[in-house]
Structure 1
Amino acid sequence: MRPIFVKNLTNVERFLAGIQRVAQRGAPEACWQLVMGSPGLGKTKTLEWWATQNDDHVYLRAKSGWRLNWALRDLVTELGEMPANRSEKLFEQALRGLAGSGRNVVVDEIEHAMHDTKVIEMLRDISDLTETHIIIGGMTGVDKKLKRYQQIYSRITDVMRFEMCTVKDVHRVCESLAEASSGVPLKIEDDLVNAIHARTEGRLRSVLNAVKEVERHARKGGLKSIAATDMQLSLLTNDGKARTTAKRVA
């Protein structure tokens, strides 16, 4: 598969629309965005991709056991500074690195940051003092946990839920990524696209697994295009993996 990010998917477009809504907000302090969804829908990959579009953006992944000093050290390190030892100094470093910089901060797996309210409060202080756009990513239902902290939740301008891929999304994934061989596109016919969508239920991770398996079958058969009739699709399972070999149609 081509090693590229497919950015014209429905979830990605909805995420980018949320970025614009935050940019056009009225209240300066309402500069938070929440992105959530079930596993395997592409949330983390989208956040990582967006953060890398501008070298100044900061991507953090909250860890199990994250506490204030640890979170600040991670943030300061990503800002390119040598972390101080004390939390007060770390906070000052973070403010200097973000104030007036136009940088945005992404914190994925935000659930891990909620065991210590000091972490989430630190992010609020930073966003209030620097008007930094804070994007937090988490699992479905994390919004309910955040609502306990109205001083945080009231600052969230956009809440975006990642959903299952549409058939059109699956077609775009196949069209953008599938290769018959290195650098040679593989055309996945519409009937096979529909079958992939049905059997993966549109879960992006499973769709990618399915495309990889289809590629393998196409390469075994020397195909540059592949349809449902070229595969025994009854054995293409919900994780997107085919359990049989391709069968070439005469």
Structure 2
Amino acid sequence: MKERFIQTRNYTQLLESIKHMDTARKTSSRRFGLGYGGFGVGKTYSLERVVAQTNALMFRCKEVWSEKSMLKTIAFEMGLDDSGSKAELFERILEEFNRKHRIVILDEIDKIIRKESLLEIWRDFHDNSSVVVYMIGMGGAEGQLRRNGHLYSRISDIVRFEENNIDDITEFCGCSDVVIEKDLIEYFTEYYPNLRAVDDMIEKIEKKAKINGLKTVTLSDFKGMGIERDAASRKRSK
């Protein structure tokens, strides 16, 4: 599998949303954003590239976070002194946000979405600086955040991560060391419309193709390889 970044539709939407919010931050009082969607639609794949493109700070939320442990994590990642009380940590971080504008991405927001005191800390950062805070979560994140009216009213951009379409899958299959034929791409799009599953399939296809001397793989070839049957058998044996 060739190493090449694929600009999927989800990646493009997320990058445009974050850039729009960053451009509008000086005139907008709403600088929270939200991206959400199910497993395997490319959230992590998109985020890693977006962070590099925007020089954003990214934090993966932890279920074990308390107010202080979250503040210590933020301070440490920003290169600040992470000692002191909660109030001291908060003021130190806020001062840095006001000194230097930052985009912050909170990945796996679902893990703290019910911890209102943690979300309130981010609302305070938002209200007292120009920081842009973009939250990334699973499919239910938007509905859960609606219950927090104070924070939800500050969300200006929402991106819903969709299942990858045939253009995304075609581009991704183009990274394979063997040629994936159109009928197999269409099959992946219908039955495996997420990059994680397709990546796993291509890895197995490449191994089988090498053994059998195949340069191209059709849907018929794929079915004959028994990859899906093997996967189903492993699931049943667990």
Identical columns (%): 27
Cα 1:15–1:160, aligned 2, differ >3 Å: closer, same or farther? same
Higher relative contact order, chain-length normalized (CA < 8 Å, sep 6+): 2
Question: Do residues 189 (structure 1) and 184 (structure 2) align?
Answer: no
Contact 1:35 1:162 in 2 (8 A): yes
Counterpart CA distance in 1 for 2:221 and 2:196 is 23
Secondary structure at the counterpart of residue 44 of structure 1: helix
Counterparts in 2 of 1:31-70, with a 5 A limit?
31-54=31-54, 56-70=55-69
Question: Residue by residue, what CA displacement relative to the aligned partner does 1:19-53 show, whole Å, maximum 9, x if unpaired?
Answer: 24323547532111101111121112322331133
SS at match of 1:231: helix
Q: Which runs of 5+ in 1 are unaligned?
A: 180-185, 244-250
1:1-250 equivalences in 2 (<5 Å)? 1-6=1-6, 8-25=7-24, 27-54=27-54, 56-175=55-174, 177-179=175-177, 186-200=178-192, 202-232=193-223, 235-237=226-228
Alignment RMSD, CA only?
2.4
Unaligned runs of 5+ in 2: 234-238
Tell me, what secondary structure is at the counterpart of 1:39? coil
Say which SS state the counterpart of residue 53 (structure 1) adopts: helix
How far, CA to CA, are the matches of 1:76 and 1:2 in structure 2? 37
Runs of 4+ in 1 over 6 A off after TM superposition: none
Greater fraction of residues in helix: 2
Closer, same or farther in 2 for the Cα pair 1:104/1:233, shift >3 Å?
A: farther
Contact map agreement 1:106 1:134 (CA 8 A) in 2: yes
The separation in 2 between residues aligned to 1:70 and 1:44, in whole angstroms, is 24
Segment of structure 1 superposing worse, 204-213 or 91-100:
91-100
Distance in 2 (CA, whole Å) between partners of 1:9 and 1:49 is 11
Partner amino acid, structure 2, of 1:199: Y
Aligned length: 232
Q: What amino acid sits opposite 1:197 in the alignment?
A: T
Do the aligned residues in 1 keep the contact of 2:62 with 2:111 (CA within 8 Å)?
A: yes
* TM-score calculated relative to the size of structure 2: 0.87
